[in-house]
A and B are shown apart, each in its own frame.
Chain A
């Protein structure tokens, strides 16, 4: 079945620096890869996603890159700000459901 490995589990960066979180997936037929952000005490919310027909997608300070050959995709956050502190989850579509990675706790240090 589908399996998603997410790294690192925790990440601490200085405000203004960049952060990168990587996920490796198992099903080469997967064609949709979302990223969710969960702030403390709140629900996970979709922040960006990518489909397999493109290699990169950007939305202001966040971007997602996809390498289908290596079966991994990454979240990039540039010019990090305190409000970027959260837990981030990647996911891979399974049969009628999403399979989530283990999550990355990102802390932005002032």
Chain B
């Protein structure tokens, strides 16, 4: 069974802080994704990566960056957190067509 692990379930950060959200998968998947989930808006893609050191912008990349130094780890970075980045963040990985999601990180920016 593929496991996708997000390091934190809940985070509270202050406006202006630099925030790192970590995601690790254990099945050697090439593709990894970061989504944010907000009520009524579904799952919106922030960034994705199809290989080490490769990254592609999704639909809402503004205010975010990512890092993929190793195949198993995909990090989402909020350079300067703002209150409108309060959300649920979901990481996913895939090989072929099947996605496996992490449990999510609920981030609150105060």
Chain A residues near B (Cβ < 8 Å): 6, 9, 32, 34, 36, 42-46, 49, 89, 93, 96-103
Kindly specify which of B11-19, B67-75, B77-85, B95-103 makes contact with the partner chain. Answer: B95-103
Q: Which residues of B contact A45 (CB under 8 A)?
A: 101
Chain B residues near A (Cβ < 8 Å): 31, 33, 35, 40-43, 45, 48, 50, 56, 58, 90, 97-99, 101-104
Out of B40, B56, B90, B99, which one reaches A98, CB within 8 Å? B99
User: How far apart are B48's CB and chain A's nearest CB, in angstroms?
Assistant: 6
Residue in chain A with minimal CB distance to B44: A100
Q: Which residues of B contact A93 (CB under 8 A)?
A: 97
Residue in chain A with minimal CB distance to B58: A97
Q: Contacts A97-B58, A102-B40: A43 and B102 contacting too (C-beta < 8 A)? A: yes
Q: Which residues of B contact A32 (CB under 8 A)?
A: 97
What is the CA–CA distance of A32 and B45 in the complex, to the nearest angstrom? 19
Residue contacts A-B, CB under 8 angstroms, 5 given: A43-B90, A44-B43, A100-B35, A100-B43, A102-B41
Give chain B's interface secondary structure class.
strand
**Interface core residue of B42, B90, B99 (most chain A CB under 10 Å):** B42
Q: Contacts A89-B42, A89-B43, A102-B42: A96 and B103 contacting too (C-beta < 8 A)? A: no
Q: Which residues of A contact B104 (CB under 8 A)?
A: 43
User: How far apart are A93's CB and chain B's nearest CB, in angstroms?
Assistant: 7
Q: Is the CB of B58 within 8 A of A9?
A: no
Q: Is the CB of A97 within 8 A of B98?
A: no
Q: Which residues of B contact A102 (CB under 8 A)?
A: 40-42
